[in-house]
Structure 1
Amino acid sequence: MNVSVCLAAILFILMVLIGGKKGARSFFALFLNFGVLLITIIIMTIPNTNPIILTLIACTVISCINLFYINDINSKTKTAFISTMITIVILLFFIVITTNKAMIQGFGEEEVEEIGMFSLYIGVDFVKIGAAVIIMSAIGSIADVAISISSSMREVFNHHPLISRKDLFSFGLSIGRDILGTDTNTLFFAFFGGYLGLLIWFKDLSYSFGEIINSKVFSAEMINILCAGIGVALIIPITAWINAYFLVKIRDK
């Protein structure tokens, strides 16, 4: 039994002990999401495939797994799903424009040696591939914020059923502000944790600060973080408004 299997077993036991059935579902959702990403990557390598459309389909499936499979189908997950998809569509248009203008698609000079033996003429649009990568990196955080806000607003509404739509929306924004700082920092430190080796390599190559900032690899990852952070910021008012609208509408009926 290798280390990965041991760690997976420990994670599964802890998730079941702490989360019960929902914890077990969350564990199996990891493998379902991995399967979706793997299939998406395989299909993306097929020539003339549109990565943007494929990414939207993959994000929809991943959102269904993370929201409906783990938390069941209810009013909280429905509004979180709608908010997530609206945010993804808005963010996707923004990311495609940003990726095209920043010209971060393709590979940096630091990666040329590793891929020198392969052919780069594979018939795929690297601009769209770059946009797809950023969206895939952000979908988890966006869905997480959506369900957190939706669940909190539902609890407040259950305890204060006569609350006004404006006050409910303000409460959702208040919850979102608390989540915003921690989630953006999580994205930031995930980058430095994953690319610590790259930063050390930059130091060994005696890169100046300007060369590091202008490096395609570094720029691509920073744009990735910033776009994901924008998505996390956008999902807060969208989820708060949709939840406030539907909860009050259901009460009035």
Structure 2
Amino acid sequence: MTIQSLRTASKIFLIAGAIFLLAFLVWVKATTGSVVQENVVAAESAYHHAVIESATVVEGKDFSDDPTVAVGTVEVQMTLRLDDGQVVSSRGLDETGLYKAGRRVIVQYQPGASAEFQWGVVDVERSGRLLWLTAVFALAVLALMGRQGVASLIGLAFSIAMIVWIIAPAMLSGQNPLLVATLGALAVMWVTLPMSHGFNWTTAAAMIGTAVALALTVLLTVVSVDGTFITGLANEDARNLRYLIDGFQLDLRGILMAGIVIGTLGVLDDVTVSQASTVAQLRAAAPNAPRAKIVAGALKVGRDHLAASVNTLFLAYAGASLPLLLLFAIGGVSLGEHLTSETVAQEIVRALAGSIGLVAAVPITTILAAMILDEDSAVLHDHDHGEVHPEQERLVEMYGDNSDKTT
């Protein structure tokens, strides 16, 4: 099969995929809005923003004998001024010294509680500080990456919007979580890769490689979750969702699998773009090299990248689940029992299923890119950031550089 015929098939796949994903997004958005309103219990109306006007420690309260309360916890009597001007009283436990006069908090009204506990502080308001941190991040990206940074930030905004406005509402309306997450993740990839790396055959190879590897990850995730009898009930946040949903039974196992797919996509993008770019540069540097040599050389580069990426994926999951890892330090339970408990096992499945998909993405993307890229397809800034990989030098020495190019 010639490069031209492969490119034609790739173009058809990408265009058809874009049309299908667009239709899916429009359909999901059009059919889930009112359903979510009916299914989700009206809890947000019970939350209010307020500022603490005064906070006084309640004397005579000793929690030193209560193992469920952190050392140093005190009970605090607070006066709160809501944003609508109403002044209310609240009493609660302060474990970390956060309840101080002048601090903005989020409070919840519970009419069924006793009078002194009807208003309770549920969290500290962090929106202002998070906005500053976001602004610093955006400026750092723009200062380093320039126009490509703008595209990356737009892609990030699109990813967030996809999860908040499309994927989450679809799950809350009763749609299959894994299907919605998979198609939503593909839609994110279909938009963000061309936006960040340009419309070219290198990006096309990365997109197709990502789609195939993501499909494999979905299959591995389903088999792994079903095969290890994971229910999704080990996650406290997921269990709490059940109390906020009416009208149908939330698929917690599906939500767990959806999270694995979405979490894997970000690392997959990085690996597939790097591999496609590696093939393009090797082909540009050694246009006379046989396709098999290009694949072999790119795979050597890919193994270097993959060694770090697999560790990155595991550390990302480990960091998010650090309290679970601390269970290993608790005596009385063997390491094997810890590892096979659902709380820990679901994180192991999450990391391994995503890592296997990541490993598969390297040869899939490399072979595909070698089949559709030629010496004019190089994207010189994506892979090596200005450095020449030893594999590129070796192929140039063996097969010559662009000055030897034949048509």
Q: Which TM class, normalised by the smaller chain length?
A: 0.7 to 0.9
Residue 101, structure 1, aligned to residue 205, structure 2? no
Q: CA RMSD in A?
A: 2.8
Matched letter for residue 42 of structure 1: P
Match of 1:9 in 2: 135
Give the Cα–Cα distance (whole angstroms) in 2 for the partners of residues 113 and 154 of structure 1. 44
Matched letter for residue 214 of structure 2: I
- Counterpart of 1:134 in 2: which secondary structure? helix
Match of 1:22 in 2: 148
The one of 350, 355, 359 equivalent to 1:229 is 355
The one of 154, 167, 172 equivalent to 1:40 is 167
Structure 2 CA distance for partners of 1:17 and 1:81, relative to 1, 3 Å: same
Residue 118, structure 1, aligned to residue 243, structure 2? yes
Matched letter for residue 353 of structure 2: C
Structure 2 CA distance for partners of 1:175 and 1:135, relative to 1, 3 Å: same
Give the Cα–Cα distance (whole angstroms) in 1 for the partners of residues 189 and 238 of structure 2. 37
Give the Cα–Cα distance (whole angstroms) in 2 for the partners of residues 20 and 116 of structure 1. 41
The answer (yes or no) to whether the contact 1:96–1:127 under 8 Å persists in 2 is no
Residue 209, structure 1, aligned to residue 335, structure 2? yes
Matched letter for residue 348 of structure 2: M
Aligned positions of 1:178-193 closer than 5 A: 178-193=304-319
Residue 197, structure 1, aligned to residue 317, structure 2? no
Identify which range, 121-130 or 188-197, moves more after superposition. 121-130
TM-score where L is the length of structure 2: 0.56
TM-score where L is the length of structure 1: 0.88
Give the Cα–Cα distance (whole angstroms) in 2 for the partners of residues 237 and 84 of structure 1. 11
Aligned positions of 1:26-105 closer than 5 A: 26-38=152-164, 39-47=166-174, 49-105=175-231
Deviations 1:38-69 (A, max 9, x none): 2202201222x223332231121111233111
Residue 143, structure 1, aligned to residue 254, structure 2? no
Structure 2 CA distance for partners of 1:85 and 1:113, relative to 1, 3 Å: closer
- Counterpart of 1:17 in 2: which secondary structure? helix
Give the Cα–Cα distance (whole angstroms) in 1 for the partners of residues 253 and 130 of structure 2. 34
The answer (yes or no) to whether the contact 1:145–1:236 under 8 Å persists in 2 is yes
Identity %: 24
Deviation at 1:37, TM superposition (A): 1.5
Give the Cα–Cα distance (whole angstroms) in 2 for the partners of residues 118 and 202 of structure 1. 31
Structure 2 CA distance for partners of 1:204 and 1:118, relative to 1, 3 Å: farther
**Superposed structure 1 runs of 4+ greater than 6 Å apart:** 249-253
Tell me which structure has the larger Cα radius of gyration: 2
Match of 1:177 in 2: 303
- Counterpart of 2:255 in 1: which secondary structure? helix
Deviation at 1:31, TM superposition (A): 1.9
Matched letter for residue 356 of structure 2: I
Deviations 1:4-45 (A, max 9, x none): 122211111111111111112212322211111222022012
Give the Cα–Cα distance (whole angstroms) in 2 for the partners of residues 113 and 232 of structure 1. 26
Identify which range, 238-247 or 119-128, moves more after superposition. 119-128
Structure 2 CA distance for partners of 1:19 and 1:124, relative to 1, 3 Å: same
The answer (yes or no) to whether the contact 2:186–2:211 under 8 Å persists in 1 is yes
Residue 161, structure 1, aligned to residue 287, structure 2? yes
Structure having greater relative contact order (Cα 8 Å, sep ≥ 6) = 1
Matched letter for residue 243 of structure 2: F
Give the Cα–Cα distance (whole angstroms) in 2 for the partners of residues 164 and 24 of structure 1. 38
The answer (yes or no) to whether the contact 1:80–1:239 under 8 Å persists in 2 is yes
The answer (yes or no) to whether the contact 2:328–2:338 under 8 Å persists in 1 is yes
Matched letter for residue 45 of structure 1: L
- Unaligned runs of 5+ residues in structure 2 are 1-126, 378-405
- Unaligned runs of 5+ residues in structure 1 are none
